[in-house]
Amino acid sequence: MPTFVYMTRCDGCGHCVDICPSDIMHIDKKYRRAVNIEPNMCWECYSCVKACPQNAIDVRGYADFAPLGHSVRVLREEEKGTIAWKIKFRDGREKNFLSPITTKPWGKAIPELAKLPVPTKEDHDGDYLCFEPAAFNQDEGMHTLATNGLKFKEGVYY
Ligand code: SF4
Ligand code: SF4
């Protein structure tokens, strides 16, 4: 479900623009409010939803599985460290979910790339992505199918 912005709530702070990995949250030049310029390219990561201090961003289901009449409301409560999701179905039923959000200060969750050591040739040739395995708290390296004791046979792990 891609995101959209309630322009009357948005104050144009730009946090959603900074955090969007798909670079699709832009500030409208005329109205100085955020807008998702390419909903079909949305990763649905909801980083923008969590980052917005004005609760100005909600999500919208695609018409094929979420027909008209439903709603998804998101409430970010920084003091409590929670994100509350309220799903309303067309028949009036409601489901509510409460999830924790990161408590790290803004901009501190991911180290600045420019301050990281230059990757070695082994880093380039290796299997890990940047921040792995440390980002997963896997001191002994990432788990793989092979290290979990599975055997490879005829193209399939058993
Ligand atoms: Fe960008 Fe993720 Fe928000 Fe989609 S959900 S607009 S990809 S930050
Ligand atoms: Fe608007 Fe929220 Fe984006 Fe700030 S983070 S520009 S308030 S939608």
Per-residue pLDDT of the chain (158 residues; tens, 9 = 90+): 889 999 999 999 999 999 999 999 999 999 999 999 999 999 988 889 888 989 899 888 777 666 677 888 888 887 888 888 888 888 889 999 888 876 666 666 667 778 888 889 998 898 888 877 777 766 676 766 666 666 777 766 66
| Cβ neighbours of residue 127 closer than 8 Å, sequence gap 6 or more | 142
Asked whether residue 97 falls in the same domain as residue 125, the answer is: no
Determine, yes or no, domain membership for 157.
Answer: no
CA distances from 43 to 16, 48, 80 (A): 13, 11, 26
Determine, yes or no, domain membership for 158.
Answer: no
Report the nearest-CA residue for atom 3 of ligand 2. Answer: 16
Q: 77 with 84: CB under 8 angstroms?
A: yes
Nearest in space to 109 (alpha carbons), one of 117, 98, 101: 101
Peptide bond into 119 cis (omega under 30): no
The number of CA neighbours under 13 Å toward the Cβ of 92 is 0
Q: 82 with 101: CB under 8 angstroms?
A: yes
β-sheet bridge partners, residue 153: 156
pLDDT given at position 89: 84
pLDDT given at position 42: 93
Q: 158 with 150: CB under 8 angstroms?
A: yes
Determine, yes or no, domain membership for 156.
Answer: no
Which burial class, exposed, middle or buried, applies to 34 when counting CB atoms under 10 A from its CB (0-12, 13-18, 19+)?
buried
Report the domain count for the chain: 3
pLDDT given at position 158: 67
Asked whether residue 53 falls in the same domain as residue 72, the answer is: no
pLDDT given at position 78: 78
Residue of 48, 54, 74, 76 with the most ligand 2 atoms within 8 Å of its CB, for mutation: 54
Q: What is the CATH number of the domain that holds 15?
A: 3.30.70.20
Q: Pocket around ligand 2: residues whose beta carbon is below 6 Å from it?
A: 5, 10-16, 34, 51-52, 54, 56-57
pTM greater than 0.75 (yes/no): no
Reply yes or no on whether 43 is catalytic.
yes
- The domain of 38 spans 1-59
Nearest in space to 144 (alpha carbons), one of 127, 129, 130, 131: 127
Catalytic residue among 11, 37, 38, 43: 43
pLDDT given at position 108: 67
What is the whole-number distance in angstroms between the Cα of residue 47 and the centre of ligand 1?
6
pLDDT given at position 145: 62
